[in-house]
Structure 1
Amino acid sequence: MLDFALLKTTGTLTPRLGRLSLAGRRSVLTPGFIGSTSRGVVPHISQDNFQKSLGLDGVYVALEDFIEKHPQKTPPIFHLDAPASIRKFTSLPEDTLLVLGARRNPPIPSPTANTNTEISLLTSVGYRSLSCEYYAAAARKLQPDIVVGLADIPLGQEVVGAKRKDKMSDRTETWTRDIIAKQKSLGEGEHRFNIFAPILPIERDLQSWYLEHLVDDMVSKISGVAIYDAYLLDDLPEELHHLPRLSFHAPASPHELLRHISLGMDLFTIPFISSATDAGIALDFVFPPPQKPNGGSRQTLGIDMWHTEQALSVTPLGENCTCYACTKHHRAYIQHLLSAKEMLGWVLIQIHNHAVLSTFFTSVRASIEAGTFDADAAAFEAFYEPQLPEKTGQGPRVRGYQFGSEEHAKAEKKNPKAFRKLDEEIPLKVAHGQQPNKKPAMKDVIDDEALVGLVGMEDANGAMQMEDLKLEDDRTAEVKA
């Protein structure tokens, strides 16, 4: 089972050092981060480059990336009859920690509300519902190392009423009990996954009933907690302080990341790494920062590789970076790749950006060990701009789920045309989105072996009838006239 050792801590809302260990997997030093994936792989990174150039100790995988055929058909990931099938399906190395959750981080709001038994999510072909029973059965089949419990969190609502918050607490408590019961029912010799219980992003008194049950009845059966609001860590019961904390509060910048670390967060998923890569921005910051020159302005957190000044630069992306991209290539070559829409451009930037964050966390841990973290964090905030640079160039081709639901109603295509006439201009900015799936949702019919639909299910739409279809060209129409 998962073991978490606290190596250094000085209080409740203070930075702390830890080590997360699991037999057969790399140990993860905390504070640290795990890779965010799309359909099981880190964007732009093939699995051979994952092993050779990225060096990540763990990844977070979202189930909603794989169940676009549910419930009409069995999703392909469940057809693989092999131990730890999700690891085999994604070709993830055996020593890499695998964390499974229901939704991507950050999740995209769904127009369909959650119910007492289901959450609404967005697959690559439209909106679907995921029941707590289906999720538990999927965890049993896929055999990840860690399963993040379902949380009832309404998305896209600026104000959530007190009654809705009570419902959030009740549902999450029920769903956490369900996943624990599924884990307990595993037979001898079956893979036992570890459970991280969600802590809701609402005030402690509004989820007190759930937290009391978590502490009294379930604390010995969970291996960690999933935090959705880092600024509510003060409300975490003392009985849960010894557990590792996995953050789903997506930081917008390294500055916010440091604030979360200062509150005692352990493990992070960091969406802004891939967002910066997609925008053609090579991250460029170190911790602690260099000595700031007198009267100097704040430095940017990244280099926009679309700027024309990079076209003649033969310097690496990072001055002292030792990643593959920086040791083998220079900025002019990488900008050429981006301009030519060559995928290798984004691959090299993604490798570099992950290397920057890995070095960042190594230095953060050294700073906490030395007792200088607060001073170093203050110097970092004074030295660097508070936000990442704005996107100026055109990113790689995108999927519809990579954009908010408010974009779906727009008529424009997600991506520009791949081919065009010589006299046709391509607009630099295009709208992104897709129409929501308007087909009526079907309920799950599941038991442990029907699992995730591993029984025959008829196509709900039926076959189209073509017998009466007749085609007429223009000449036939003229003869009839």
Structure 2
Amino acid sequence: MLHFTLLNAAPGLAPRLGRLSYPGRKTLLTPLYLGNTSRGAVPHISQDNYQKHTRLNGVYVPLEDFIERYLEKTPPVFQIESQTSKLRRFVSLPQDSLLVLGARRQPPLPCPAANTNSQISISTSVGYRALSSEYYAAAANVLRPDIVVGLADIPYGKESVSSKRKDKMSDRTTAWMKDLVLKRSQLEKSDAPSYNIFAPILPIDKELQSWYLDHLVENMADQIGGVAIYDSQLLEDLPAELRKLPRLSFDNPASPQDLLRQIRLGIDLFTVPFLAAATDAGIALDFTFPAPSTSESRQQTPRQSLGIDMWGTEHAISVTPLTPTCKCYACTKHHRAYIQHLLSAKEMLGWVLIQLHNHAIMDAFFAGVRHSIETGTFEDDVAAFEAFYEPRLPEKTGQGPRVRGYQYTSGENAKPNKKNPKAFRSLKPLNAFHGQQPNAKPIVKDNIDDDALAGLADLENRSPEDELESPQLKDDKS
């Protein structure tokens, strides 16, 4: 199972070094980041290039990427044959890479329907759906990743949340964690490989989730292998019994400075959404940690940009690499003029090369962070980095690749006079299993097989008149 060792004694909120190991997987030295995937693949990077030209040792995969309407009752990801992990084989991930499964993408797209007592609202390739805790726990047993992030009741997209709603967040998340632990216990009784559970820590004050935190400490401390943090500023409220566990951040950073702020508070693992966003915008990241040393005259010049906008016409005749000191495939094999030409011609290879480069920059960034913490110069290096670089990434100026469906809201498509007819009928919430009654009891049923993950039963009997824009949730809404 998962083993995490702290390599430096870091009391309180402080940057820390760690070693995370899992049998059969590469050892991860933290702080580090995981590859953020779309349908199981890092955007713009094929699985062969993942192994040849990146140093990624783990990825984060959201379940909502694989929930879809299909002619069969069971989604394809559950149908593939595998003795170890169906998900790993389905996405063709190397055996030595850590596989982390969660419910939502990072960053998640806010959904119009609210969460209920038994399910959360998700955004899939065929529209908004409802994912039940029962379905999620059963899916984890069948897919068998290395780590499963527990369901968290978080109302994405709301600017303010009432105290009553925060109480529901705590109660629901507690119940859903019980479901996941109970379902995993059934897997552990068999010879099938099990998985580790990362418990979500809600983005609300400690007092409002104290009952949930007490439950984690008293009843689940030996059942969880790590914590998922949704607001890094609340790390101080983390119970002492959970502080030695690895911390995976879902407090989405917008820049390297945000990453440094969270590392300063003691975060170990990250998903980095701005990395792929920069690639889509045609921006080649260009920063190092620690920042280059500066002279007094140099300090009077404007701060340096965090990236290079490759849509700029000045790159059309430049035969220099994206970053002269970078040793990635893009920088050693190609120059700026070629990459700028690819973007202008809308050739996907342009974004592939930028993505490979951006991951190499991020690898070097975290390697520099770990060395800085080890040598005790982290605070000074952070101050120098913030003084040397702009606080934000450059703005997008060119047209990116084709936008994937989950990258924009459905506001335009929801207008009354839509030009195109609806392509799919509304589907039932994902809480119906083979031989089970949905919402019959709040606990997880004891028996389930691979074919039980349909969740889409009786679709063939639904008529076009049943079409609706969003899932119909029958439970208590808020």
Give TM-score scaled by structure 2 length: 0.89
Conserved? CA contact 1:280–1:349, under 8 Å: yes
Offset of 1:54 from its aligned partner? 1.1
Structure 1 residues 394, 152: closer, same or farther in 2, change over 3 A?
Answer: same
Superposition map of 1:350-389 within 5 A: 350-389=355-394
Structure 1 residues 454, 130: closer, same or farther in 2, change over 3 A?
Answer: closer
Superposition map of 1:220-259 within 5 A: 220-259=222-261
Paired with 1:326 and 1:347, the residues of 2 have a C-alpha distance of 12
**CA deviation string 1:208-246 (max 9, x = no partner):** 000000000001100000000011111111110010000
Offset of 1:398 from its aligned partner? 1.4
**CA deviation string 1:412-442 (max 9, x = no partner):** 99xxxxxxxxxxxxxxxxxxx9989772644
Offset of 1:10 from its aligned partner? 2.4
Q: Which residue of 1 aligns with 2:12?
A: 12
Conserved? CA contact 1:127–1:436, under 8 Å: no
Conserved? CA contact 2:428–2:456, under 8 Å: no
Paired with 1:9 and 1:71, the residues of 2 have a C-alpha distance of 55
Q: Which residue of 2 aligns with 1:144?
A: 145
Q: Which residue of 2 aligns with 1:208?
A: 210
Ranges in structure 1 where 5+ consecutive residues have no aligned partner: 414-432, 465-481
Q: Which residue of 2 aligns with 1:453?
A: 454
Offset of 1:305 from its aligned partner? 0.2
Offset of 1:319 from its aligned partner? 1.7
Offset of 1:296 from its aligned partner? 1.1
Paired with 1:7 and 1:121, the residues of 2 have a C-alpha distance of 38
**CA deviation string 1:437-471 (max 9, x = no partner):** 7726446221512431189644143589xxxxxxx
* Alignment of 1:333 onto 2:320: no
Conserved? CA contact 1:110–1:122, under 8 Å: yes
Q: Which residue of 2 aligns with 1:54?
A: 54
- Write the letter of the residue equivalent to 1:444: N
Q: Which residue of 2 aligns with 1:323?
A: 328
Q: Which residue of 2 aligns with 1:3?
A: 3
- Write the letter of the residue equivalent to 1:400: G
Which moves more between the two structures, 395-404 or 128-137?
Answer: 395-404
Structure 1 residues 310, 435: closer, same or farther in 2, change over 3 A?
Answer: farther
Superposition map of 1:225-304 within 5 A: 225-292=227-294, 293-304=298-309
**CA deviation string 1:367-394 (max 9, x = no partner):** 0000000000000000000000000000
Which of 189, 198, 201 aligns to 1:199? It is 201
Conserved? CA contact 1:225–1:245, under 8 Å: yes
Q: Which residue of 2 aligns with 1:173?
A: 174
Which moves more between the two structures, 284-293 or 436-445?
Answer: 436-445
Which of 302, 308, 314 aligns to 1:309? It is 314
SS at match of 1:272: helix
Structure 1 residues 273, 407: closer, same or farther in 2, change over 3 A?
Answer: farther
Higher-Rg member (1/2): 1
Conserved? CA contact 1:72–1:458, under 8 Å: no
Identity of aligned residues (%): 62
**CA deviation string 1:397-421 (max 9, x = no partner):** 11221123545547999xxxxxxxx
Conserved? CA contact 1:70–1:453, under 8 Å: no
Paired with 1:72 and 1:325, the residues of 2 have a C-alpha distance of 42
Q: Which residue of 2 aligns with 1:23?
A: 23
Structure 1 residues 339, 296: closer, same or farther in 2, change over 3 A?
Answer: same
Q: Which residue of 2 aligns with 1:94?
A: 95
* Alignment of 1:444 onto 2:444: no
Structure 1 residues 412, 86: closer, same or farther in 2, change over 3 A?
Answer: farther
Aligned residues: 445
Offset of 1:55 from its aligned partner? 1.5
Paired with 1:280 and 1:305, the residues of 2 have a C-alpha distance of 6
Q: Which residue of 2 aligns with 1:189?
A: 191
Paired with 1:462 and 1:288, the residues of 2 have a C-alpha distance of 61
SS at match of 2:221: helix
Which moves more between the two structures, 80-89 or 22-31?
Answer: 80-89
Paired with 2:228 and 2:377, the residues of 1 have a C-alpha distance of 27
Structure 1 residues 240, 434: closer, same or farther in 2, change over 3 A?
Answer: farther
Paired with 2:154 and 2:244, the residues of 1 have a C-alpha distance of 25
Offset of 1:294 from its aligned partner? 3.3
SS at match of 2:460: coil
Offset of 1:81 from its aligned partner? 2.0
Structure 1 residues 443, 147: closer, same or farther in 2, change over 3 A?
Answer: closer
- Write the letter of the residue equivalent to 1:122: S
Structure 1 residues 238, 94: closer, same or farther in 2, change over 3 A?
Answer: same
Q: Which residue of 2 aligns with 1:344?
A: 349
Kindly indicate whether structure 1 or structure 2 has the higher relative contact order, using CA contacts under 8 Å at least 6 residues apart.
2
Offset of 1:96 from its aligned partner? 0.3
Offset of 1:12 from its aligned partner? 1.1
Structure 1 residues 435, 111: closer, same or farther in 2, change over 3 A?
Answer: farther
Which of 387, 395, 398 aligns to 1:393? It is 398
Conserved? CA contact 1:146–1:193, under 8 Å: yes
Offset of 1:73 from its aligned partner? 3.2
Conserved? CA contact 1:400–1:434, under 8 Å: no
Paired with 1:437 and 1:112, the residues of 2 have a C-alpha distance of 18
Q: Which residue of 2 aligns with 1:121?
A: 122
Conserved? CA contact 1:409–1:434, under 8 Å: no
Structure 1 residues 96, 285: closer, same or farther in 2, change over 3 A?
Answer: same
Q: Which residue of 2 aligns with 1:473?
A: none
Structure 1 residues 287, 175: closer, same or farther in 2, change over 3 A?
Answer: same
Paired with 1:71 and 1:242, the residues of 2 have a C-alpha distance of 46
SS at match of 2:390: coil
Structure 1 residues 90, 113: closer, same or farther in 2, change over 3 A?
Answer: same
Conserved? CA contact 2:307–2:394, under 8 Å: yes
SS at match of 2:453: coil
Offset of 1:62 from its aligned partner? 0.3
- Write the letter of the residue equivalent to 2:229: I
Paired with 2:27 and 2:316, the residues of 1 have a C-alpha distance of 41
SS at match of 2:284: strand
Conserved? CA contact 2:432–2:455, under 8 Å: no
* Alignment of 1:75 onto 2:80: no
Conserved? CA contact 1:126–1:436, under 8 Å: no
Structure 1 residues 332, 435: closer, same or farther in 2, change over 3 A?
Answer: farther
